[in-house]
Chains A and B, each alone.
Chain A
Amino acid sequence: MNDPQVREKLARIANRPPGEWSKRLEHEFPDDPVLRMQALLWLHAEKEGPELEGSPPSLGEAADERYELTLRLDSGTTASVWQAFDRRLGRNVAIKVFRERDQSEALDQVLAEARAASDVVSEHVVRVLDVQYGDGHPYIVMELVSEYDADKGDVVLGMTAAACKPRSVDEIARWVMHVARGVHEAHLRNVFHRDLKPKNVLITPNSRRARVTDFGLAVSGASPDATHPAITLLKRGPSGPVSVRGTPEYMAPEQARGLPLTLDARNTDDRGVLVAIDIWGLGAIAYDLLMGRPPWLARKSDDLSAWEVAASTERPPPLDRRADGDRVPRRLRRVVEKALATDPKSRYTSAAELANELQDFLEKKPTTLDRSRVLRLALWSRRNPQLALTILIVFGLAALAAGTHLTVTRLQDERATLDRKVASQKAEKQALNAEVQESREELDETRQKLHSERENLSALEKSIAEERASYQTLIDAKEHDLQDATRSTRRLMEQLEATRRERRAADEARANLDKTLAEQRSVMEKNAKEREKIRKEREAARAERDAAQRERDAAVADRDRLDAELQKAKAAVGKLQAAPAAPTSARM
């Protein structure tokens, strides 16, 4: 039965009242109880289906009569926001419709906070007009942020700051300033937002003004926060249980770690805590709009959620360059960084103070953080360019006049000095001329003396030359004799040298001879010793030879004796042989 006709049949049945569905399904699919059950679930789900643009939820009979929900603007966890037409007053409004139908403590709380927020009247806050529990879904009626667009001939809705691209850094500062003014108005009525983020800021389409909305997490003096009292995640020592609420990506660090459930805006200390959280929220909006990302993001590399990153004591990444690469102006960066200080006490003490700082930034006035005198002067000049130019021109002319006067005076002084110098130099020149004249006369006189001296000297030189010539002749002769003597001396010297050489050779020969003699003497002594030794050896040999001779002689004597004995024996034998034969037995 899994065919396209199933959907057509279901569509037909869906148009019937729910009470008839089971019967109709049994009729259409009599043999398939599984399909009947699935189809019944499908039909119920479709009836209850998600809130779509085309199917606005019911606010209850009376409210439905008054408000016509025309367009869903946004959808959140607990509620959706609709554009609606108020038939009674003939105007468009925005209605936040809660999903929860049943009255609950949490919803009561939210609605009570919205009622408290309705007291806040500011051009920078979206006004809460009505809060109702109807017989349908609970709802909050708010001002619809829209403007008439003459070009389009129609009313154009505002967009959230998250969806609306700011045109410049100044526009971002202006939006945050508007929101800060609105938040300050709320604070003056003991209403605190605690969930400030670009999505909760609406920008008007033409005038591009920012208005803060959605005081859904607001804390007011009349309603201490007690939402979700059954859940206590963390508990601190003396301050009791804490709750964590807000948007993790934009939470103040202390907010992420949890705030006491008993926070009361009427208490001075608690009020300080709540103001500091909203100041952080304003800084977080500025940070997001400047950097294109919220202060905290989940880090998959560390497996940390945005909430965990916010709860740690890390600082958000530095505000330096925007996504488009432009630098964030230093003055604005300082203001935002102060709003985002980790220590709540280091932040601005009020939203108005932050708004004033941003206004000063926009008006090019020094903020409390701009302490440099040069910067303050530069900012003043940028704020008052005509006055600054006039003052600059006046100062310039005055400086020019003073400069000219000083220059003329200085030139006059210099001229007088030069005149004095010229006069003194003239006097010096005259004195010098006189001195020169005297010197010239002296010089002429000296020249004349020199001339006569030179003549005397010439005569003297002439006589000296003559003398020198005669002496030269004498010297030449003497030199000739001297050369002869020198030559004979040189020859004698050569002979002497030869003799000396011969003598040295003779000495060397004698020395060699002595040496040879000594060596020969030594050899002779050695030979004598050897001869003596040989002689002794020879004597020993001779003795040995004599002994051997004696032994030979003895041996010869022995031999001779033995030969004689042998001869005797042989003779005896011959005798025996020659004798007659003796009996055999005798031979035996």
Chain B
Amino acid sequence: MAAQFERIIRRVKSSMNYRGSYSTRDILGSLVARWLQSGEWERLKQLPPPERHIGESVRRFILDRIDQLRRRGDHEEMPDDLVLVPDEALLTEMIEAAELRAWIEARIADLEDGVIDPRVRIPVPNARQIGQALRLHIGGQTQRQIASELGISLGATNKRILEGTNYLVVLQGIESGLGGGSA
């Protein structure tokens, strides 16, 4: 269970980090996130895992994007048949990361609206301010900037981010089958 806890915490926290500089993996991650938004993943999830062929689907999606780029300019350096993507296991990991990031953004939006998931049994006061602080946090603002933006002290900012992160971890644990139960 400790390993499961650690995995959930690590995934949530790493998904909340702001990425300023990009690596190839980040670029691919952003393309996978766009692929996820296209609804293709929802369709593939209906199929049994061996029939999903995620790599092929992502590859096709990337090719479409590159086609778009090619239409915008000269891209003879990008031949279609040389576009490679990582193996299915790594792709699945990236898809999960993209899904988690989208999930986190949706939950932050809920918090900004003052909505707390009823399954969470630990009281979370100041939901709106927590949502606002988390929104700025994942947007790459430092805690000093967030404090200045929200007009609260640095200590209060730290507390809001900490509580928000804990709330998201608990909720992600519930989604993963830990600490669930009726409201």
**Chain A residues in the interface with B (C-beta under 8 A):** 1-4, 6-7, 10, 32, 34-35, 37-42, 44-46, 48-50, 52-55, 72-77, 99, 195, 199, 216-217, 227-228, 230-237, 241, 243-248, 257-258, 304-305, 307-308, 311-314
Contact = CB atoms under 8 A, between A and B. Distances in A.
Contacts of A237: 79, 82
Given A48-B9, A314-B73, A247 B162 contact: no
Given A312-B75, A314-B72, 18 more contacts: A34-B121, A34-B181, A37-B173, A38-B173, A40-B179, A41-B178, A53-B158, A75-B140, A99-B17, A199-B20, A227-B23, A228-B25, A230-B86, A231-B90, A241-B84, A244-B22, A244-B24, A307-B22
B27 A10 contact: no
Interface of B: 5-6, 8-10, 12-14, 16-28, 30, 34, 62, 65, 68-69, 72-75, 77-79, 82-86, 90, 120-123, 137, 140, 142-144, 154-155, 158, 161-162, 165-166, 169-170, 173-174, 178-181
A7 B122 contact: yes
Contacts of B144: 53
A134 to B, nearest CB: 20
B17 A42 contact: no
B84 A45 contact: no
A6 B122 contact: yes
Contact of A38 (B18, B26, B121): B121
A10 B120 CA distance: 14
Contact of B21 (A6, A228, A247): A247
Contacts of A258: 24
B5 A40 contact: yes
16 contacts: A41-B8, A45-B169, A49-B165, A49-B166, A50-B13, A52-B162, A53-B143, A231-B24, A231-B25, A234-B83, A236-B77, A245-B21, A245-B22, A311-B69, A312-B72, A312-B73
A6 B125 CA distance: 12
Contacts of A248: 22, 27
B121 A235 contact: no
Nearest to A36: B179
A232 B62 CA distance: 13
Contact residues of B: prevailing secondary structure: helix
Nearest to A3: B123
Given A6-B121, A235-B84, A305-B30, A313 B21 contact: no
B20 to A, nearest CB: 6
A2 B121 CA distance: 6
B161 A7 contact: no
Contacts of B74: 313
A243 B24 contact: yes
B25 to A, nearest CB: 5
A363 B120 CA distance: 65
B170 A38 contact: yes
A35 B20 contact: no
A75 B142 contact: yes
A6 B170 CA distance: 15
B173 A41 contact: yes
Contacts of B142: 72-75
- Name, among A37, A72, A232, the residue most crowded by chain B CB atoms within 10 Å (CB to CB): A37
Given A216-B21, A235-B84, A308 B174 contact: no
Contacts of B140: 75
A192 to B, nearest CB: 15
Contacts of B174: 38
Nearest to B121: A35
Nearest to B82: A235
Contacts of A40: 5, 179
Contacts of B68: 304, 308
A199 B68 CA distance: 31
- Name, among A6, A35, A44, A228, the residue most crowded by chain B CB atoms within 10 Å (CB to CB): A44
Which 9 A-B pairs have CB atoms at the shortest separation, nearest pair first? A313-B73, A37-B179, A34-B181, A45-B169, A38-B179, A52-B158, A243-B24, A45-B166, A35-B121
B18 A75 contact: yes
Contact of A232 (B24, B79, B180): B24
- Name, among B6, B13, B25, B62, the residue most crowded by chain A CB atoms within 10 Å (CB to CB): B25
Contacts of B28: 231, 233
A312 B69 CA distance: 6
A77 B16 CA distance: 9
B42 to A, nearest CB: 19
Contact of B82 (A32, A236, A246): A236
B69 A48 contact: no
A257 B24 CA distance: 10
A495 to B, nearest CB: 116
Contacts of B5: 40-41, 44
Nearest to A100: B14
Nearest to A248: B22
A248 B155 CA distance: 33
Contacts of B85: 233
Nearest to B94: A231
A32 B121 contact: yes
A195 B21 contact: yes
A47 to B, nearest CB: 9
A55 B74 CA distance: 50
Nearest to B17: A77
Nearest to B154: A53
A35 B77 contact: no
A7 B24 CA distance: 43
Contact of B90 (A41, A230, A235, A311): A230
Given A6-B122, A54-B155, A247 B20 contact: yes
A223 B150 CA distance: 44
A49 B122 contact: no
Contacts of A230: 86, 90
Contacts of A246: 21-22
A244 B14 CA distance: 21
Nearest to A298: B30
A40 B68 CA distance: 49
B123 A6 contact: yes
Contacts of B8: 41
